[in-house]
Amino acid sequence: MIFTRSDKPAVTSSIPQRNLQCRLRLAMICLAWWFAALPALAVAGGNPVQQDLDELAARTLADPASGLHSLVLQLDSPAHDFHYSAALGRLKAGSDDAIAINDRFYIASISKTMTAVRMLQLMEERGLPPDSTLASLDLLDAEVIAALHRMDGKSYGAELTLRQLLSHRSGMKDYLLDDRNGISSEFEGGLAPGSMAAIWMSQWPQYLQCKQSAEGCGTPASAALYPARSWLPWDPAAFAANPHDRDAGLLNFYLSEMADTALFVPGSASHYSDTNFMLLGIIIEKLTGSSLSEQLSLGIFQPLGMAHSYLGPNATPASEHNSRLSDFWIGDTAFPSSGIDTSWDWGGGGVISTAQDLSTFLQALVNGKLFRKAETLQQMLEFVPVRSDEQGMQAGYGLGIRYARTEFGPKWGHSGAWGAKMEYFPELQLFVTGTVNAYGTGAEETLLNESVRLFAKHFSSEGN
């Protein structure tokens, strides 16, 4: 939009020469006012939905009930030639540095969609059908496969398939939130007492004390604390030496603590479990002989130009990892400013990205640009109901991607525990990405719904 002004000062030859300095000073003042007014004029004359979204983002961050410190929101609809982005709040705890739209954040379980895509790409390349069993892949020792899934004294490990892992239908418990005595939803606070997350939380006060001590967390006892650990995905040698060494790696923890109390026969029901995607990450590394970090970069980040995305925190130099990476908050504690290692998230939630990179990834996915065959995407989007009512499926899960029925039609994508969102609304042809960088507030769901409602209201009325 081009703005013109009708009150531009006239310049005539009748002004005496001795007033030239005053004229120049007046011109500079007018010019300064002109440039200062441009942003306000642009907003006033801008797209109404953008103004409404600005107000929504500001209101969301300012709401004292939400307890938010920052947020990032991006909406993209190429079909409507629409793009919106906003970033508000602080980048890190203890800093006045403002968060910017291209700053990185932890995407948590949105990483599952990326791990799934890379697994499906490799399945295409190597001719592996989705129902390939772990036993047929011959990537893990038979003893390990047998130990993966035991129920009522019987092993079903050899029957586990790639499809079941990708769709959370393996029956394996979640090493992060469940334990041998139950699943997270059965316990107050959503954490089973013997889960990795519960042990981690129970050791958190001790970890903070050791950080404040003279020797820090360098003593053997302090280094053994879960908040101080950098986790390996899997240590097969440690398992061979002692199958009950739960601290050797993520898969070691699962096998030691809960693998013999599986929930159901593989393929017969659904249970959301990070164990599935931790195991898929191990399978990807076994198939390729390279790290999951390298494989995500090779199959997704590099081809799509997602220059700000990587599997953290150990997949990149510390200086790069800490550069323009925003904190997320659990209660009053900021991560990673607290010095926490998040390697326990790995294949199920360890990717760090930006709102633009997530939008790039999701657009490429739904437009079929990440697979060689159209049927691979179709298989990924074959949603199995997780929750239904008389109108049919309310929520479902495909292969590393979620479905939900909304007032705006279906949505596909994924969310992340630290307040991250990556969603596509096919009926609106709208992609929404971003984060509120906080755990358990629900603010990300409200922000998503309200922003989509504003978009839908504007573009539905525009078409009438």
Q: What is the mean pLDDT of residues 281-305?
A: 97
- Tens-digit pLDDT profile for residues 209-220: 887 776 666 677
Choose among 71, 99, 74, 76: nearest CA to 85. 74
Name the pLDDT band for 312 (thresholds 50, 70, 90): confident
Are 114 and 292 in contact by the 8 Å Cβ rule? The answer is no
- Tens-digit pLDDT profile for residues 422-443: 999 999 999 999 999 999 999 9
Q: What is the mean pLDDT of residues 345-366?
A: 97
Global pTM?
A: 0.87
Question: What is the distance between the alpha carbons of residues 453 and 464, in angstroms, rounded to a whole number?
Answer: 17
Which pair of structure tokens corresponds to residue 398? 């495909």
Strands (E), 62-193: 70-77, 82-89, 105-106, 150-151, 154-155
- Tens-digit pLDDT profile for residues 131-171: 999 999 999 999 999 999 999 999 999 999 999 999 999 99
Are 53 and 454 in contact by the 8 Å Cβ rule? The answer is yes
**Is the per-residue pLDDT at 30 higher than 50?**
no
Name the pLDDT band for 462 (thresholds 50, 70, 90): low
Question: What is the distance between the alpha carbons of residues 192 and 279, in angstroms, rounded to a whole number?
Answer: 21
Q: What is the mean pLDDT of residues 343-361?
A: 96
Burial 294-320 (b: 16+ CB within 10 A, else e): ebbbebbbeebebebbbbbbbbeeeee
- The pLDDT value recorded for residue 25 is 47
DSSP string, 404-460: EEEBTEEEEEEEETTTEEEEEETTTTEEEEEE--BSS--HHHHHHHHHHHHHHHHHH
Cis peptide before 410 (omega within 30 of 0): no
Name the pLDDT band for 32 (thresholds 50, 70, 90): very low
**For 404, phi and psi rounded to 5 degrees?**
-145, 140
User: How does DSSP classify residue 6?
Assistant: S
**Is the per-residue pLDDT at 375 higher than 60?**
yes
Q: Which helix (H) or strand (E) holds 202?
A: helix 196-212
- The pLDDT value recorded for residue 218 is 67
**Is the per-residue pLDDT at 252 higher than 60?**
yes
Name the pLDDT band for 284 (thresholds 50, 70, 90): very high
**Is the per-residue pLDDT at 39 higher than 50?**
no
State whether residue 392 is helix, strand or coil: strand
- The pLDDT value recorded for residue 434 is 98
Structural domains in the chain, sorted by start: 48-126+302-464 (3.40.710.10)
Strands (E), 102-182: 105-106, 150-151, 154-155
State whether residue 349 is helix, strand or coil: helix
What is the signed CA dihedral for 292, 324, 83, 34, rounded to 10 degrees? -160
The identity of residue 365, as a single letter, is L
- Tens-digit pLDDT profile for residues 62-109: 999 889 999 999 999 999 999 999 999 999 998 889 999 999 999 999
Question: What is the distance between the alpha carbons of residues 52 and 262, in angstroms, rounded to a whole number?
Answer: 49
Q: In what order do the strands lie in the sheet with 384-389?
A: 82-89, 70-77, 430-435, 420-425, 409-416, 402-406, 392-397, 384-389
- Tens-digit pLDDT profile for residues 164-218: 999 999 999 999 999 999 999 999 989 999 999 999 999 988 888 887 776 666 6
- The pLDDT value recorded for residue 208 is 84
Which pair of structure tokens corresponds to residue 141? 């020792």
Question: What is the distance between the alpha carbons of residues 217 and 135, in angstroms, rounded to a whole number?
Answer: 41
- The pLDDT value recorded for residue 216 is 64
Average pLDDT, the chain: 87
Q: What is the mean pLDDT of residues 315-330?
A: 70
Are 166 and 130 in contact by the 8 Å Cβ rule? The answer is yes
Are 440 and 197 in contact by the 8 Å Cβ rule? The answer is no
**Is the per-residue pLDDT at 115 higher than 60?**
yes
Question: What is the distance between the alpha carbons of residues 100 and 72, in angstroms, rounded to a whole number?
Answer: 8
- The pLDDT value recorded for residue 337 is 86
- Tens-digit pLDDT profile for residues 378-413: 999 999 999 999 899 999 999 999 999 999 999 999
